[in-house]
């Protein structure tokens, strides 16, 4: 996925240097402290991570009643689970799940480039905010999906969901066949952030 919408290596390196320079300047001026930076990083490494989304997906795969509820009333369904406090904050307001089926594939974008369900997907991939991806995914989703390896049957309906301050969408991908005897950990290994955005299918990493 990242190869399709990747920045050139020199641009990535330049961006990383700018971020590091800004962080150093803010610390030098006393606006933030190194401890603040560490705390924020730890928050996203331990609390707001794709692991939360993986747990939600696996619960939906194994529990039909939960699968229905997580689509009908996502916040209420998530509240039943043992997930970190603060799931409703930090871009977690108005979470809404949509489920892939054999005849429907869901793709999540953000044309405003500002809304992403951090509590269930972690930080957004850099390509997700790329103007090329956002524009093409909205205009020609089937073609974009095919380019990144998601070749869907011609009769599969593709629904594109635009995240906003009112609804922050994420996808419950289809459970891969032949996983009936998988443990929860094995199932979670099949779920990626890309699958929960809809630019990949759940399954073993290629």
Residue 127: CATH number of its domain = 3.90.330.10
111 in any annotated domain: yes
Domain that holds residue 117: 9-197
Show the 3-state SS of the chain: CCCCCCCCHHHHHHHHHHHHHHHHHHHHCCCCCHHHHHHHHHHHHHCCCHHHHHHHHHHHHHCHHHHHHHHHCHHHHHHCCCCCCCCCCCCCCCEEEEECCCCEEEEEECCCCCCCCHHHHCCCCHHHHCHHHHHHHHHCHHHHHHHCCCCCCCCCEEEEEECCCCCEEEEECCCCCCCCCCCHHHHHCCCCHHHHHCCCCCCCCC
Angle, alpha carbons 107-177-102 (nearest 5°): 40
Longest dimension (CA), the chain: 58
Confidence at residue 193, expressed as pLDDT on a 0 to 100 scale: 92
Model confidence at 204, in pLDDT bands (50, 70, 90)? confident
User: Which is catalytic among the residues 15, 110, 164, 206?
Assistant: 110
205 in any annotated domain: no
Determine whether 113 is an active site residue.
yes
180 in any annotated domain: yes
What is the count of structural domains for the chain? 1
Model confidence at 119, in pLDDT bands (50, 70, 90)? confident
* Per-residue pLDDT at 1 exceeds 60: no
Query: Which phi-psi region, left, alpha or beta, contains residue 160 (left: φ > 0; alpha: ψ -120 to 50)?
Result: beta
User: Which is catalytic among the residues 115, 164, 167, 206?
Assistant: 115
24 in any annotated domain: yes
Q: Which residues are annotated as a binding site?
A: 110, 113-115
Q: Which residues are annotated as a binding site for Fe(3+)?
A: 110, 113-115
User: Which is catalytic among the residues 15, 113, 163, 164?
Assistant: 113
152 in any annotated domain: yes
115 in any annotated domain: yes
Determine whether 114 is an active site residue.
yes
Q: Which residues contact 32 (CB under 8 A, 6 or more apart)?
A: 23, 26
Confidence at residue 7, expressed as pLDDT on a 0 to 100 scale: 45
Single pTM value for the model: 0.76
Model confidence at 13, in pLDDT bands (50, 70, 90)? low
Determine whether 164 is an active site residue.
no
169 in any annotated domain: yes
Determine whether 167 is an active site residue.
no
């Amino acid at each position: 996925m990242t190869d399709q919408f990747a920045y050139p290596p020199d641009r990535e390196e330049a961006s990383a240097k700018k971020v590091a320079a800004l962080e150093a300047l803010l610390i030098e001026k006393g606006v933030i402290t190194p401890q603040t930076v560490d705390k924020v990083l730890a928050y996203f490494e331990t609390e707001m991570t794709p692991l939360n989304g993986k747990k939600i997906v696996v619960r939906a795969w194994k529990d039909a009643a939960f699968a229905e509820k997580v689509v009908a009333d996502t916040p209420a369904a998530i509240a039943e689970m043992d997930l970190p406090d603060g799931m409703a904050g930090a871009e977690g307001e108005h979470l809404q799940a949509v489920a892939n089926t054999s005849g429907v594939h869901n793709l999540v974008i953000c044309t405003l480039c500002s809304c992403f369900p951090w509590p269930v997907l972690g930080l957004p991939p850099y390509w997700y905010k790329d103007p090329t991806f956002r524009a093409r995914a909205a205009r020609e989703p089937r073609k974009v999906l095919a380019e990144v390896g998601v070749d869907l049957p011609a009769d599969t309906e593709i629904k594109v969901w635009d995240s906003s301050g009112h609804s922050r969408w994420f996808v419950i991908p289809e459970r891969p066949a032949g996983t009936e005897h998988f443990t929860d950990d094995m199932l979670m290994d099949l779920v990626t952030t890309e699958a929960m955005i809809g630019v990949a299918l759940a399954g073993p990493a290629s």
